[in-house]
Amino acid sequence: MNIEMIRAAAARLAGHVRETPLLNAPLLDEIAGRRVWIKPECLQHTGSFKFRGAYSALSALAEEVRAKGVIAYSSGNHAQGVALAARMHGAPAVIVMPEDSPQLKIANTRAYGAEVVLYDRNRESREDIGAELARTRGLTLIKPYDEPQVIAGQGTMGLEIARQAAALGITQADVVICCGGGGLTSGTALAFEAEAPGLRARPAEPEGFDDTTRSLAAGRILRNPAMGGSICDAIVTPQPGDITFPIMQRLAGPGIAVTDAEALQAMAHAFNRLKLVAEPGGAVALAAVLFHPEAFGDTEKVIVTISGGNVDADIFARALETLH
Amino acid sequence: MNIEMIRAAAARLAGHVRETPLLNAPLLDEIAGRRVWIKPECLQHTGSFKFRGAYSALSALAEEVRAKGVIAYSSGNHAQGVALAARMHGAPAVIVMPEDSPQLKIANTRAYGAEVVLYDRNRESREDIGAELARTRGLTLIKPYDEPQVIAGQGTMGLEIARQAAALGITQADVVICCGGGGLTSGTALAFEAEAPGLRARPAEPEGFDDTTRSLAAGRILRNPAMGGSICDAIVTPQPGDITFPIMQRLAGPGIAVTDAEALQAMAHAFNRLKLVAEPGGAVALAAVLFHPEAFGDTEKVIVTISGGNVDADIFARALETLH
């Protein structure tokens, strides 16, 4: 896993990925107490950064392998990313999704042309279902984060931030990244190491599902005690990946954990002041910057990812209620 | 009023305005029945394109005139644009707003540092209030649309679209523009005339407040029968401007009128598929493309402005209810 793989992914993604802007946010600066810029990956194709990694992985497959089809398991954002990337490559896609995934994510995954297989996340193993389907149909598994070509694709966001920050004269900043298994955080950290050494990737997670934050503090991989119960469905993973963790240990952190209530409030601020739709898991980095100033000390400049915007209307309405 | 004024405004705005992206929208193409691109001016500073015209007008004033301060009357988006542009120039700003303006717009206008004077739009004349304040305090009035430097600023969006469309190989397209007094429509049409003659500006308006659509069809300026009662507060004006109308008559149209219900549905689509927050008046162009295919005949490509995103949470919640 190295910077050359990220650069190669950027070349494959050129013309297919959206270069999302880097937006300053004067009305958020005052709340955060420092300068804040936003990287709205909710505006990426399929509504999250996951399209980058999915397209990178699909485009790296040999054509005869890709033609047989791909399979992924995901609560939604990776699912949609793989579904659209597969459609763009003319390859069939099967997505294994928990039956309690947000309805919007299931509907959109189908809308991108993928076959969706639902499972019960309390009684069934998505790995078993995926392995069986892969074996019987000759499908290639696209893992959500612990896969070099996926990490390389996510790292292209880091290349963009490095370039955009340089154009704005930002040489030193914390870059807060919504973190599940660590694909985006590790890929981005590798891009910064090569292109913008004054930028530091810092993972943000939901409280109770802060496996990466705790693992980085402990110096070894720790698991989350549970897998359900956060509204931040997009970034709840059992533990950091075997590939992503050593990269994060070398280049990223410390992590920051926020509450579900803070994530909802951050969504409301994104609505009010940025006109962006963030999903709960996509708003944890913004919540960290707005509500945890102690985690940033005297850092003057912070760049915040909004990693996704695939949220059902009822959850979004709950976020808007925090404005009353 | 000519293209050189728009180019000069673009030079003054460089580094201060956001160049908003031009986003394709595969999930909307299917509903619209043609290719759709989105110009999200809701991501502009202050949440609407109005910042462009306000900054253009402020920056064109002589320094000693600007230092005395400016005044504007507006239900909200022009207000916020003038407030921020004034702050950026270190000039005082007084904004005369109807007392029934969306709370968010009043609060944000104050947050940008302007003095807000509220009035009752049924009993008082904003022109009288504004003229009195201008006279006693030496303030310069920044009109919302019928003012050459404001039109020039709005026209910078047209220059951006012309450049972005060319980069995407789009040479022929209808460009649907949310239209109040015609500042954005006329400025953009002038930019297209010079830079992208295959692009045609077409105003979209709320039913019952479609003064520009009817005026273009009649060949003379017609007034709206009423001034209240639409949720599209941002784009309800009495009639097209004396400066904007002849430009639109020469270069833009025909117009398209949509219902409030269609505007709300378009907001829901922007939420679901674009992850953008649109206000009702900012969603009428999207509503026209999604729900009025008959207005576009066999036009293959359409570019749609989302002109603003300053909407209160309760109205946004009504839009989300259309998803059920």
Q: Is omega for the bond preceding A92 within 30 degrees of 0, making it cis?
A: no
> Which of residues B73, B108, B141 is at a domain's end?
B141
Shortest CA distance from B18: residue in chain A: A23
Cα-only R_g, chain B: 18
What is the nearest CA distance from B224 to chain A, expressed in angstroms?
A: 30
* One domain for residues A179 and A303: yes
Mutate which of B77, B272, B275 to disrupt the A interface (most A C-beta within 10 Å)? B275
* One domain for residues A137 and A152: no
**Which residues in chain B are contacts of A27 at CB distance < 8 A?**
108, 111
What is the nearest CA distance from A136 to chain B, expressed in angstroms?
A: 32
* One domain for residues B181 and B276: yes
Rounded to whole angstroms, the Cα distance separating A208 from A19 reads 33
Cβ distance A43 to B21 less than 8 Å, yes or no, reads yes
Helices (H), A199-275: 211-218, 244-251, 260-269
**Which residues in chain A are contacts of B26 at CB distance < 8 A?**
45, 84
Identify the contact set of chain B against chain A, taking CB-CB distances under 8 A: 18-21, 23, 26-27, 40, 42-43, 45, 47, 84, 104, 108, 111, 268, 271-278, 309-310, 313, 316-317, 320-321, 323-324
pLDDT at A82: 97
Torsion, Cα B82 B86 B89 B92, to 10 degrees, reads: 160
- Rounded average pLDDT per 10-residue block, chain A, 324 residues: 97 96 90 97 97 98 97 88 96 92 85 92 86 92 95 98 97 97 97 98 96 97 85 84 97 97 97 96 98 97 97 94 86
> What's the CATH code of the domain at B304?
3.40.50.1100
Strand partners, B32: none
Identify the contact set of chain A against chain B, taking CB-CB distances under 8 A: 18-21, 23, 26-27, 40, 42-43, 45, 47, 84, 104, 108, 111, 268, 271-278, 309-310, 313, 316-317, 320-321, 323-324
Cβ distance A313 to B27 less than 8 Å, yes or no, reads no
pLDDT at B233: 76
* One domain for residues A156 and A231: yes
Chain pair A-B, CB pairs under 8 angstroms = 72
pLDDT at B169: 96
Q: Is omega for the bond preceding A254 within 30 degrees of 0, making it cis?
A: yes
* One domain for residues B106 and B86: yes
* One domain for residues B102 and B193: no
Torsion, Cα B220 B226 B232 B233, to 10 degrees, reads: 110
Q: Which two tokens stand for residue B297?
A: 């005949």
pLDDT at A323: 85
What is the nearest CA distance from B93 to chain A, expressed in angstroms?
A: 18
- pLDDT tens for B181-197 read 999 999 999 999 999 99
Maximum separation of any 2 CA atoms in chain B, in Å: 56
**Which residues in chain A are contacts of B51 at CB distance < 8 A?**
none
> Which of residues B141, B157, B182 is at a domain's end?
B141
Shortest CA distance from B269: residue in chain A: A313
What is the nearest CA distance from B19 to chain A, expressed in angstroms?
A: 9
* One domain for residues A234 and A134: no
Residue B124: other Cβ atoms inside 10 A? 14
Shortest CA distance from B282: residue in chain A: A275
- From the list A272, A224, A218, A234, the residue with the least C-alpha distance to A27 is A272
Helices (H), chain B: 3-13, 26-32, 50-60, 63-68, 77-88, 103-111, 126-137, 148-167, 183-195, 211-218, 244-251, 260-269, 284-291, 313-321
pLDDT at A238: 86
* One domain for residues A135 and A230: no
Which regions of chain B are under pLDDT 70?
none
**Which residues in chain A are contacts of B15 at CB distance < 8 A?**
none
Torsion, Cα B126 B129 B135 B137, to 10 degrees, reads: -110
Residue B221: other Cβ atoms inside 10 A? 19
Shortest CA distance from B107: residue in chain A: A272
Q: Which residue has the tokens 């790296």?
A: A60
**Phi-psi domain of B182 (left: phi exceeds 0; alpha: psi -120 through 50; beta: other):** left
Q: Which runs of E-coded beta strand occur in A157-263?
A: 173-178, 199-206, 256-258
Mutate which of A275, A314, A323 to disrupt the B interface (most B C-beta within 10 Å)? A275
**Which residues in chain A are contacts of B320 at CB distance < 8 A?**
313, 316-317
Cβ atoms of B96 and B119 closer than 8 Å: yes
pTM: 0.95
Q: Which two tokens stand for residue B115?
A: 């003095």
- Its domain, for residue B85, covers 50-141
* One domain for residues A225 and A188: yes
> Which of residues B88, B115, B141 is at a domain's end?
B141
pLDDT at A225: 86
* One domain for residues B277 and B132: no
**Which pairing describes strands B23-24 and B35-40: parallel, antiparallel, or unpaired?**
antiparallel
**Which residues in chain B are contacts of A320 at CB distance < 8 A?**
313, 316-317
What is the nearest CA distance from A230 to chain B, expressed in angstroms?
A: 21
Helices (H), B168-259: 183-195, 211-218, 244-251
- Per-residue three-class SS string for A40-70: EHHHCHHHECHHHHHHHHHHHCCHHHHHHCE
Residues 6+ apart with CB under 8 A from B40: A275, B20, B21, B23, B274, B276, B306
Rounded to whole angstroms, the Cα distance separating A64 from A138 reads 11
- A18, A27, A271 member nearest B277 (Cβ): A271
* One domain for residues A55 and A43: no
Cβ distance A27 to B108 less than 8 Å, yes or no, reads yes
pLDDT at B126: 84
* One domain for residues A213 and A317: yes
Number of domains in chain B: 2
Task: Collect contacts of A119-125 with beta carbons under 8 A, ≥24 apart.
Answer: A121/A227, A121/A228, A122/A228
**Which residues in chain B are contacts of A278 at CB distance < 8 A?**
275
